[in-house]
Chain A
Amino acid sequence: MERKPIRLTVNERTHDVVCEPNATLLDVLRDLGYTDVKSGCEQGDCGACAVMLDGKAVNSCLVLAWQADGCGIVTNRGLGSMDAPHVIQEAFADSGGVQCGFCTSGMVIATKALLDRNPDPTEDEIREALSGNLCRCTGYGQIIGAVRLAAARLNDSGSSPASSQSEDGREADSASRLRVSGDASPHGGEGREPDPTDHVPASDRAAKDDGEASSLREEGREHNPADHVPVFDEQADGGDGAC
Chain B
Amino acid sequence: MTLPAFELFRPATLDEALQILAETPGAAPLGGGTCLLVDLRHRKRSVDALVDLGRIEPLRAIRIDDGALVLGAMATIADLLDSPQVMESAPVLHAACKTFAAPLVRNRATLGGNIAHASPAADAAPPLLALDAEVELQSPTGTRRLPMADFFLAPCQTARTDGELVTAIRIPISNGTPSWGYEKIGLRKADAISVVSAAAVRGQDGGTVRIALGAVAPVPIRARAAEERLGSGAWSAADIAEAARLAGEEARPIDDVRGSAAYRKRQAEILVRRCLKRVAEGGEARGA
Q: Interface on A for B, CB 8 Å cutoff?
A: 1-2, 20-24, 42-44, 47, 50, 53, 56-59, 61-64, 66-67, 110, 113-114, 127-129, 131-133, 221, 234-243
Report the nearest A residue to B33, measured CB to CB.
A62
Report the nearest B residue to A47, measured CB to CB.
B104
A113: chain B residues within 8 A (beta carbon)? 103-104
| Inter-chain contact B102/A132, CB cutoff 8 Å | yes
Measured between alpha carbons, how far is A161 from B34 in the docked complex, in Å? 28
Q: Is B120 an interface residue (CB 8 A)?
A: yes
Report the nearest A residue to B52, measured CB to CB.
A67
Report the nearest B residue to A242, measured CB to CB.
B121
Q: Interface on B for A, CB 8 Å cutoff?
A: 1-8, 10, 32-35, 37-39, 41-42, 44, 50, 52, 54, 78, 101-105, 107-108, 117, 119-121, 155-156, 187-191, 193-194, 215, 218, 253-258
| Inter-chain contact B107/A56, CB cutoff 8 Å | yes
B108: chain A residues within 8 A (beta carbon)? 58-59, 62-63
| Inter-chain contact A132/B120, CB cutoff 8 Å | no
Contacting residue for B121 out of A59, A238, A240, CB 8 A = A240
Contacting residue for B7 out of A21, A62, A242, CB 8 A = A21
Measured between alpha carbons, how far is A42 from B37 in the docked complex, in Å? 10
| Inter-chain contact B39/A64, CB cutoff 8 Å | no
Report the nearest A residue to B155, measured CB to CB.
A241
- Given the interface pairs A1-B6, A57-B104, the reply to whether A243 lies near B191 with Cβ below 8 Å is no
| Inter-chain contact B35/A243, CB cutoff 8 Å | yes
Q: What are the 10 tightest A-B residue pairs by CB atom distance, in nearest-first order?
A: A132-B102, A239-B256, A241-B155, A21-B8, A131-B190, A242-B121, A131-B191, A22-B3, A237-B257, A43-B38
| Inter-chain contact B119/A243, CB cutoff 8 Å | yes
Measured between alpha carbons, how far is A100 from B1 in the docked complex, in Å? 24
- Given the interface pairs A131-B102, A132-B105, the reply to whether A67 lies near B54 with Cβ below 8 Å is yes
7 A-B contacts, Cβ less than 8 Å apart?
Answer: A22-B4, A63-B108, A132-B101, A236-B42, A238-B44, A240-B121, A242-B215
- Given the interface pairs A57-B103, A59-B105, A132-B105, the reply to whether A64 lies near B37 with Cβ below 8 Å is yes
- Given the interface pairs A59-B105, A131-B102, A132-B103, the reply to whether A235 lies near B38 with Cβ below 8 Å is yes
| Inter-chain contact A110/B103, CB cutoff 8 Å | yes
| Inter-chain contact A243/B103, CB cutoff 8 Å | no
| Inter-chain contact B103/A43, CB cutoff 8 Å | no
